[in-house]
Structure 1
Amino acid sequence: MVSHGGEETRGVNVTVAATHELGPERLRLIREMLDTAFDGDFGDEDWDHTLGGIHAWIEDARGIAAHGSVIMRRVLHDGRSYRIGYVEGVGVRGDRRRQGLGGLVMGELERVIDGAYAFGALSASDEGAALYLARGWQPWSGRIEVIGPEGVVRLPDEEGSTYLRPAAGGTLPDPAAALLFDWRDGDVL
């Protein structure tokens, strides 16, 4: 585990670690915070999507105050397969919202994306979109599709809520061609 903090974070430390380094107790605490932060609308499949990558979180005297993770996904675009960093499980405990903690967590996740992936992607709620826009994430204006058990399926409901971020020095895909995501149970995006 690595902790990052500095003058710009005013003494707040963001810890970064892979899922396997967290241990069952910390994973339980993160899951509980996300259940609360999402008002009970964070299910087992959402939790499963959050695991297997790199986590960034902030703890305070009351426990986990903020969390997010970035996992690897495959996306086909215009005949090419990309390895992308997909952001999951971003939440801030209710009593710590609007204090910059989400931005601190995202900063660490973006650092991971810059160092390991072609670009970043996420699906934002209406409430979360402002955070991502302020950090330079761009709404995807093209089609969103998934390779499902029955073949390629368009996801028009995800068009407008999907945001991308180029990795350091990179560019974003051309919206003239669809982003074709890998399949997973639950919400595909």
Structure 2
Amino acid sequence: MTPTPPARTPRTAHTADLTSDELRAVRALLDDAFDGDFSDEDWDHGLGGVHALVHDDAGRLVAHGSVVMRRVRHRERWLRVGYVEAVAVRPDARRTGLGGRVMAELERVIDRAYDAGMLSASDEGAALYAARGWTVWSGRVCALGTEGVMHLPDEEGTTFVRPALAGPLDPAFELVFDWRDGDVL
């Protein structure tokens, strides 16, 4: 196996500024990184915001993540949340710090533009987020659905929070996410 060439500094760009070839490369990376378990809804969730992309010196995409805006109600206030999506590192480049580079760029965007940052972590990704100071939300997680507020117990324990402009969030009060197709979180 050929070693992965060194990676460059992450580049950030809005979805609207990515070319069709770049979007295809991102989708291919995500399909590969998630072993084909990255749905069309998952793909849609990662679009419409700011992407952090890392290419190696040969110009190949090796890492990606995006942050999109979501509305989340907490304590009777709707927060503007930077929600992290589609974080992936090419399998042959994992455990080399690329995930941290991507997250640093996304956190910079969140800290300057959103009330808070949130994400839903896979078992594989949880250690990265915890090491970067993200905390597991210890309160209830809900979503606003067609029938009103719906409790999402399966999302509890995997939802991570990064308070930013809004300051600390109180887990005595639930988080109510806006609804979306596919996985709500």
TM-score range, shorter chain: over 0.9
Superposition deviation, residue 20 in structure 1: 0.3
Residue 57 of structure 2 corresponds to residue 94 of structure 1: no
In structure 2, runs of 5+ residues without a counterpart are 1-5
Please name the residue that 1:131 is paired with: 128
- Percent of aligned positions with the same letter in both sequences? 62
Which residue of structure 1 lines up, in the alignment, with residue 177 of structure 2? 181
- 1:35 equivalent in structure 2: 31
TM-score normalised over the length of structure 1:
0.92
CA distance in 1, matches of 2:82, 2:102: 15
Cα displacement string for residues 106-131 of structure 1 (whole angstroms, at most 9, x for unaligned residues): 00000000110011000001110000
Q: Residue 153 of structure 1 corresponds to which residue in structure 2?
A: 150
Structure 2 Cα separation of the partners of residues 77 and 32 of structure 1? 36
Q: Which consecutive aligned stretches of 4+ in structure 1 deviate over 3 angstroms post-superposition?
A: none
CA RMSD of aligned residues (A): 1.2
Please tell me the residue identity of whatever aligns with 1:52.
G
CA contact (8 A) 2:7 2:54 kept: no
Instruction: Identify the match of residue 57 of structure 1 among 49, 53, 56.
Output: 53
> Normalising by structure 2, what TM-score?
0.94
List runs of 5+ in structure 1 lacking aligned partners: 1-9
Deviations 1:71-96 (A, max 9, x none): 00000111111001000000000000
The alignment covers a number of residue pairs equal to 179
